[in-house]
Amino acid sequence: MGLERQTAGGAPEGHAAARASCWIQGGRVLVVALSVWIVLGAFGCGRGEGTGEVDFSGPISEWRHWGGTRGASHHSELKQITPENVRSLEVAWTHRSGDYFDGSGSSKVSSLQVTPLVVNDLLYYCTPFMRVFALDPETGEERWSFDPDFKERHGEGPYPLICRGVAYWEDSDAEPGAVCSKRIFYGTADSELHALDADTGKSCEGFGERGRVALREGIGEAPPWEYHPTSPPQVIRDRVVIGALVADNVRVDAPGGVVRAFDARTGELEWAWDPVPPNWPSEPDPETGRRFTPGTPNIWSIITGDAERGIVYVPTGNPSPDLFGGLRNGLDYYGSSTVALDAETGKVLWNYQYVHHDVWDYDTPSPPTLFQAEGVGGGVPGLIQTTKMGHVFLLDRETGEPLYPVEERPVPQGGVPEENLSPTQPFPTHPKPLHPLVLSPKDAFGFTPLDRADCRRLVESNRYEGIFTPPSVAGTIQMPHTSGGMNWGGVAINEATGTMIVNQIHAGLVNKMIPRAVADTLDESDFGYPNEYYEMKGAPYAINRYLFGSLFGAPCNPPPWGSVTAVDLRSGEVKWTRPLGTLRELAPWPIWALYTDYGAPAFGGGISTDSGLYFIGAAMDKYFRAFDVETGDELWRHRMPFAGNSVPMTFRLRKDGRQFVVIGAGGNPLGDMGDALIAYALPE
């Protein structure tokens, strides 16, 4: 489930030390003089300072929605910061909330994945401890803060604490200046939907129960960490539409993945979509209070909307448990799909599925991105859906029909006997899949002959027949990883040029199904990230999965292990692709200095601007980067105190004002964790 699932636990100290030791041993064979030369060349020497002159003639723009627009285009018309002056960017202000775990003496972890909003002359963002801050957008000075008295701040559970963002709404029926005529909505990790006065930060007393609505009603019994929202709601046509994360691979009868819409003024429930097949018999359980069907696909990622057409688009996850589907009995119907719902009624308008009978945790991770571009699909209103497989689907947003041919191709069969796998899976042809889909023993990677042989052994000893090779008792390589390919950061799309830019992770894992009789004899404490164990209670198997990596801790597939790619959606062809990130923070010096083009896992996404820039953090090496949209050249980078595993945003509020680019840099459990919200601008 995006970053949450892949960072569900912390690597044991012994494992981390062993991995570091292996990296160091490998590094001893490297030439120090060469590494110094690479450091000087790659990290700033001879780059020049650029020109910091500020042009005040350009447009102004807020950032009113999580992705810039309701359709999550992640593109801005701003152009004060240009390829010519971007090297002069400097930190304008930094805000520190103090809301993070440092990983010491506690199993609890946090990740600052938030994308702020700038609207109503304020910048709004939420923290992993579920607090909301309103800041002066140009100075970072606090205007107000709200603390929901988050009950589970020190509770248990496998997931990092995450709040990806808030939503803003204005009441068109309210008197100007009335209390709560402007509102901030967001969901918390203890499953409450809050409504705040956007001017003061105080709870809107008339919404729900004194400003909050309980989201666990009808869910049934479940610990707090098993069900809660992590992504911002979509507020459309005076309705607050919200889904929730459901923990992966815990049990067959996990909480249902219901999507609900609440009246933005009163908090009254307007509709609830229970993602079950048509004509599915409803069976509420009065003893547990469960009203919604257990085990249905959940909607943990970002919901987008088309206000003009009155449609919300929800990206769905897998039925429970993710890696075994033999007991689903048809609940796959809406799994791993995009589903279009009527915003006023919750009625399904159309649905399109990207993985049939998903047993790989290839849930739909990213926001369905809305666009309309001349020369793309006949210029009709479209939708881009990226996937963990590296597949990009272009659909008609009104009908759900593909804009270009999608082929149903045969895929590997077998796995475990209780499964009923789909014989085919859909493959887009425009653009073609962006993730490598082949791997053989000769492709096994290694820094040295020793770790290369170790990787070759893994390829030879586990089944791999290409993408969609099903999990098995003997062991199966899954490529791409459950983190992607592409993930929740989504794409940036410039509708004027038809250019889409997206980042990817290139790594794999090994799945081993464990028969229940054997699983019942195991001690779960013997497992820990990255050697994960999931019980899948109620299924005939548990699952053990771990990184498809060498004894040095590096992925066994060839680099790059992280990339950013620009695609011309008119032709469907790749314009350019570049490695994203370095091995800094993941490997000791001089290895990270020598291998500068290997890329690295990158969690988050980027934004593009009309001036021709693409901004992205995401990578584990703590750098915030700017790329040239046309060439893919890296034009600027700045090292932050923590990795920017989020999606940035940009704004400019005054004709005589500066353009700011803001990113949440809080790291994640795979590295340092922190709390820096950083704003960049050209010098005054």
The pLDDT score that the predictor gives to residue 107 is: 61
The confidence band for 106, taking pLDDT boundaries of 50, 70 and 90, is low
Q: Could you tell me the end-to-end alpha-carbon distance of the chain, in angstroms, rounded to an integer?
A: 42
Domain that holds residue 216: 2-282+436-681
* pLDDT of 445 above 80: yes
Q: What is the residue-averaged pLDDT of the chain?
A: 90
Q: Distance between alpha carbon 205 and the CA centroid of its chain, in Å?
A: 33
Active site residue 361: yes
- CA dist 661 and 193 (Å) reads 29
Residue 579, preceding peptide bond in cis (omega within 30° of 0): no
Q: What percent of the chain has pLDDT over 70?
A: 91
Task: Go through 466-479 and write b for each residue having 16 or more CB atoms within 10 A of its CB, e for each that does not.
Answer: ebbbbbbeebbbbb
pLDDT of residue 589: 79
What's the chain's length in residues? 684
What is the C-alpha separation between 365 and 487, in angstroms, rounded?
5
The residue among 462, 459, 455, 465 whose CA lies nearest residue 476 is: 462
Confidence of residue 19 (pLDDT cuts 50, 70, 90): very low
pLDDT at 594: 83
- With 50 as the cut, is the pLDDT of residue 174 above it? yes
Confidence at residue 595, expressed as pLDDT on a 0 to 100 scale: 85
pLDDT score of 43 more than 80: no
| HSE-up of residue 552 (Cα within 13 Å, Cβ side) | 24
Q: Give ∠ CA 524-529-530 in degrees, rounded to 5.
A: 120
pLDDT at 17 over 90: no
Please report the beta strands in 14-57, taking only residues with DSSP state E, as ranges in sequence order: none
pLDDT for residue 5 is more than 90:
no
Which pLDDT value is given to residue 155? 53
In angstroms, the CA 480 to CA 486 distance is 9
Which of 190, 197, 332, 361 is labelled catalytic? 361
| Residue-wise burial string across 377-392, b where 16 or more C-beta atoms lie within 10 A, e elsewhere | beeebbbbbbbbbbbb
User: What is the rounded CA–CA span in Å between residue 476 and residue 512?
Assistant: 7
Asked whether 662 and 677 are in contact (CB, 8 A), the reply is yes
Given this model, what pLDDT does residue 22 score? Answer: 38
Report the C-alpha gap between 34 and 591 in whole angstroms. Answer: 11
pLDDT beyond 80 at 140: yes
DSSP secondary structure string for all residues of 620-635? TT-EEEEEETTT--EE
Nearest to 377 by CA among 355, 353, 393, 354: 393
Question: How large is the average pLDDT for residues 325-350?
Answer: 97
Does any domain span residue 306? no
pLDDT for position 438: 82
> Residue 84 — pLDDT band, cuts 50, 70, 90?
very high
pLDDT exceeds 60 at position 97:
yes
In the predicted structure, residue 31 carries a pLDDT above the cut 70: no
Task: Answer left, alpha or beta for residue 162, where phi above 0 means left and psi between -120 and 50 means alpha.
Answer: beta
Is residue 567 within 8 Å of 604, Cβ to Cβ?
Answer: no
Both tokens assigned to 390: 């590296």
Which range among 282-291, 299-308, 546-555 has the greatest average pLDDT?
299-308
pLDDT band at 593 (very low <50, low <70, confident <90, very high): confident
The structural domain count of the chain equals 1
pLDDT at 530: 80
Whole-angstrom distance, CA of residue 543 vs CA of residue 457: 21
423 located within any domain: no
> Quick one: pLDDT at residue 582?
93
pLDDT for residue 24 is more than 50: no
Domain harbouring 490, CATH code:
2.140.10.10
- Which phi and psi angles does 249 have, rounded to 5°? 55, 30
Per-residue pLDDT for 302 more than 70?
yes
Residue 506 in domain: yes
**Residue 308 falls within a domain, yes or no?**
no
508-563 pLDDT per residue, tens: 999 999 999 999 999 888 887 788 999 999 999 999 999 999 988 899 999 999 99
- Residue 80 resides in a domain: yes
Cis check: omega of the bond before 485, within 30 degrees of 0: yes
In this prediction, residues 430-458 reach a mean pLDDT of 92
How far apart are alpha carbons 67 and 77 in whole angstroms?
13
Average pLDDT over residues 19-33: 36
pLDDT at 618 over 60: yes
Phi-psi domain of 210 (left: phi exceeds 0; alpha: psi -120 through 50; beta: other) = left
pLDDT digits (tens, 9 = 90+) for 478-504: 999 999 999 999 999 999 999 999 999
Tokens encoding 143: 């205007």
Residue 159 confidence (pLDDT): 83
Q: Is residue 363 part of a domain?
A: no
Predicted confidence band of residue 26 (pLDDT cuts 50, 70, 90): very low
Mean pLDDT computed over 361-379: 97
Asked if residue 206 belongs to a domain, the reply is yes
Q: How confident is the model at residue 36 (pLDDT cuts 50, 70, 90)?
A: very low
Mean pLDDT over 385-410 rounds to 98
Provide the 10 A C-beta neighbour count for residue 446. 18
pLDDT at 525: 81
* pLDDT interval class at 7 (50, 70, 90): very low
What's the whole-number mean pLDDT along residues 229-235? 97
Q: Which two tokens stand for residue 162?
A: 């995450």
69 pLDDT higher than 80: yes
pLDDT value at residue 153: 56
Per-residue pLDDT band at 10 (split at 50, 70, 90): very low
Q: Is the pLDDT of residue 247 over 80?
A: yes
pTM tops 0.75: yes
Q: 């290139």: which residue's tokens?
A: 506
Sheet holding 532-534, edge to edge: 476-478, 509-515, 541-547, 532-534
Q: Residue 347 falls within a domain, yes or no?
A: no
Q: Which 8-state DSSP code applies to residue 588?
A: -
